[in-house]
Chains A and B, each alone.
Chain A
Amino acid sequence: GEDVEQSLFLSVREGDSSVINCTYTDSSSTYLYWYKQEPGAGLQLLTYIFSNMDMKQDQRLTVLLNKKDKHLSLRIADTQTGDSAIYFCAEMTARQLTFGSGTQLTVLP
């Protein structure tokens, strides 16, 4: 079955880079996503990567995918206080979208 895991918490200093990691188990995943959820708000799609890619860059965001190890990461460059939120990775298989538990990112001044 599908299982997606993330560490629960990450703290970084403002201006540093943040790296949020995610592992998944289903090798049939087609797309992998990163969503951001701010307090009291819905889910905002940040970026996604197709499963046959190994890297995607979008402004301050870099996604790395190691398909052999089933490991996905999201790097946020020059992290700002506005980046404080919960970040969810999710994998899309033929059947459904499965979410990780979310990583609470706290950006310290």
Chain B
Amino acid sequence: SAVISQKPSRDICQRGTSLTIQCQVDSQVTMMFWYRQQPGQSLTLIATANQGSEATYESGFVIDKFPISRPNLTFSTLTVSNMSPEDSSIYLCSSTMNTEAFFGQGTRLTVV
């Protein structure tokens, strides 16, 4: 398996500002995934990030709001832009290796 280090683990942000979340994997992985978990909800896939190409966004998520970078096979960032209180969630990055999907520790974001 692999280990993903995600930071920050939590943050409290003012509305209208942006926050960039980083994930570092200790192995090279082809795809990385970004999920959102709203309070009391399941995980919803935001986008899939492949190295060297633009991220693929799921319905309801757009690049202007959630720009993603994937500069190499071990690193990715997700930015939550122009935040509003509705963006308060846990954000998780993930990847897969062989049979296992593994996750970062999550970023608990509160927008005030």
Contacts and interface: CB of A to CB of B under 8 A. Distances in A.
A50 B42 CA distance: 22
B33 interface: yes
A48 B100 contact: yes
Contacts of B105: 42
Q: How large is the interface on B (under 10, 10 to 19, 20 to 34, 35 or more residues)?
A: 10 to 19
Interface stretch (A12-20, A68-76, A77-85, A89-97): A89-97
Contacts of A42: 92, 103-106
Contacts, number: 38
B99 to A, nearest CB: 6
A47 to B, nearest CB: 11
Interface residues of A, number: 18
A43 B96 contact: no
Contacts of A48: 99-100
A62 interface: no
Contact of B43 (A40, A88, A92): A88
B57 to A, nearest CB: 12
Given A48-B100, A96-B45, A100-B42, 13 more contacts: A31-B99, A42-B92, A42-B104, A43-B92, A43-B103, A45-B102, A90-B101, A92-B101, A96-B48, A97-B33, A97-B101, A101-B41, A101-B42
